């Protein structure tokens, strides 16, 4: 198994857009994996075993083609997070309860935006 490194950046007070993850049977990424009955997991923490910063709440959006969605995180939620360099990963649990992965891992940077966009009076 190859773990893909994918670094993410979230800006406080800005909606973090949703994105899709596709699971495949083969290393050439040509045969979609049917993930019916699987459970996806994805969390953000400063270090392993540290307090959970953000549950990315992945869900299977199309099991037959191996599609998992990481849903958007609303700006009302992102504004409550603290700036910092964190880590995230993506794992899966198969129907027998065995956990696999991480399939994706990387840094998860939380930053404050420069533009405040205060409405004119």
- Residues in contact with 71: Cβ distance below 8 Å, sequence separation at least 6, in sequence order: 18, 56, 57, 58, 59
The stretch 46-64 carries a mean pLDDT of 97
Average pLDDT, the chain: 94
Q: Would you say residue 84 lies in a domain?
A: yes
Query: What's CA 1's distance to the chain center, in Å?
Result: 19
Give the model confidence (pLDDT) of 16-46 as tens digits. 999 999 999 888 889 999 999 999 999 999 9
Looking up residue 29, the CATH number of its domain turns out to be 2.60.40.1930
Res 121: pLDDT: 65
Tell me the pLDDT band of 59, cut-offs 50, 70 and 90.
very high
Which has more pLDDT, 118 or 50?
50
CA distance 28 to 25: 9
Task: Look at the chain and report how many structural domains it folds into.
Answer: 1
Strands 99-112 and 4-5: parallel
Q: Would you say residue 118 lies in a domain?
A: no
Res 18: pLDDT: 98
Which residue segment(s) compose the domain that 16 sits in?
A: 4-112
């Amino acid at each position: 198994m190859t773990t893909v490194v994918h670094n993410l950046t979230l800006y406080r007070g800005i909606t973090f857009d949703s994105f899709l993850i596709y699971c495949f049977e083969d290393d050439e990424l040509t045969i979609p994996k049917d993930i019916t009955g699987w459970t996806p997991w994805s969390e953000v923490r400063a270090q392993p075993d540290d307090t959970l910063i953000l549950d990315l709440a992945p869900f299977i959006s199309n099991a037959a083609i191996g599609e998992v969605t990481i849903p958007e995180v609303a700006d009302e939620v992102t504004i409550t997070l603290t700036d910092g360099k964190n880590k995230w990963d993506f794992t899966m649990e198969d129907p027998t309860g065995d956990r696999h992965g991480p399939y994706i891992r990387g840094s998860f940077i939380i930053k404050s935006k420069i533009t405040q966009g205060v409405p004119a009076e």
